[in-house]
Structure 1
Amino acid sequence: MPVHLQHEQGQENLRLFRAGEPKPEGHNSRWHERVRAFLAAGKNVGRVRTVRRPLNEYQRYQLAWGIPGNLDAGEDIRILDLTDLDFDLPQRDFWLFDESLVVELCFDSDGTLVTRRQLENPDLTRYLAWRDVALSHAETLSDWNARTRH
């Protein structure tokens, strides 16, 4: 899905969430289909979602509408609450594919994804180390919810 369409759809879904409307039928279904296809092909799909309390509106939206469906589709999503922690992690979110391709994610001030940028010749050692730190300190969504009761 082109980024501008993803951004527009994300804005509409965020508007519905703000208004207290129910989550639309088939919310994020394209991604769920892709996750299931990756898993069927023997690949792993996972991420660490970093947060700081108090959560911003977009994080609350993701935790309520996005992440549970992604988990149901088979994605391994962990939460790393940085509220009381200080790790050497980058300020920008990134994707790491097959330990060789790095894509940075750029967000609006409200937290919605604006664009993605593939990095040319990234320092893979550094990105792998950041991934390992995040994974080693992250927890499941259910454990995080039980601990924080946000």
Structure 2
Amino acid sequence: MLLDGDAWRAMFRGIESEAWRLETLPQYLVPQEAEQIEAFRAGRRVDPDTCSSAYTEDLKRLRGEGKRKGRVHVLTRSLSEYLRFEFSRYYAPHALAGEDIRILDVTERENPLPHVGDFWMFDRSTVVLMRYEDDGTQIGRELYEGNPALYVEWQRIAVAESVPFLEYVNG
């Protein structure tokens, strides 16, 4: 089943305890970000301590309800321009707003998740496979109809093998 529009937004509205994502690409081409990327290239940065958005407000609301969002991004150095942008524009303010963002840097080590692609997992029971072209253009979201146990295990490995985002960038 392909998820889009209201069906996709409903996945997030229906969170009972956790929404979690694995990211594996060095770049995501999102047309809505073009202007922000140009500003980043021009040297304009957001202040993560004062950056507020619908997403950060939602993170605070979820945290207040005892729910959480998290993600692990698997990457290698040197960071792509997109990852430097993503770290500055999204990860820093989102981590400060309560999202558990972690980095699994596999530059000098074997990737413990070598053949796993991007996915979202909701309440450790529903998995949505994220489909991308090689350049990072999203081409679909597909509801996984099988047993989520393998994805729960991949989440466990990713979290255990990664470090918190703020530790990664400040360490």
Category of TM-score, reference length = shorter chain: 0.7 to 0.9
Residue 55 of structure 2 corresponds to residue 18 of structure 1: no
Partner of 2:102: 78
Residue 170 of structure 2 corresponds to residue 136 of structure 1: no
Q: Distance in 2 between matches of 1:115 and 1:38?
A: 28
Q: Distance in 2 between matches of 1:70 and 1:140?
A: 12
Residue 81 of structure 2 corresponds to residue 57 of structure 1: yes
Partner of 1:30: 54
TM-score by length of 1: 0.79
Q: Distance in 1 between matches of 2:61 and 2:142?
A: 23
Moved more, 14-23 or 25-34: 25-34
Partner of 2:126: 101
Aligned residue pairs: how many? 144
The 1:75–1:24 alpha-carbon spacing in structure 2 relative to 1, beyond 3 Å, is closer
Equivalent of residue 117 in structure 2, options 84, 88, 92: 92
1:42-85 per-position Cα deviation (integer Å, ceiling 9, x unaligned): 11211112211111111111112211100111111111101122
Moved more, 67-76 or 20-29: 20-29
1:19-40 per-position Cα deviation (integer Å, ceiling 9, x unaligned): 2123399866011111111111
Tell me if the contact between 1:103 and 1:116 (Cα under 8 Å) persists in the aligned partners.
Answer: no
| Aligned-partner residue type, residue 95 of structure 1 | W
Instruction: Report 1 or 2 for greater relative contact order, CA contacts < 8 Å, sequence distance ≥ 6.
Output: 2
Secondary structure in 2 matching 1:42: coil
TM-score by length of 2: 0.71
1:125-145 per-position Cα deviation (integer Å, ceiling 9, x unaligned): 111111011000111123222
| Aligned-partner residue type, residue 15 of structure 1 | E
Secondary structure in 2 matching 1:45: strand
Backbone CA RMSD of aligned residues: 2.9
| Structure 1 or 2: more helix by fraction | 1
The 1:131–1:89 alpha-carbon spacing in structure 2 relative to 1, beyond 3 Å, is farther
After TM superposition, give the deviation of residue 107 of structure 1 in Å. Answer: 4.3
Partner of 1:127: 151
Equivalent of residue 7 in structure 1, options 12, 25, 30: 30
| Aligned-partner residue type, residue 29 of structure 1 | S
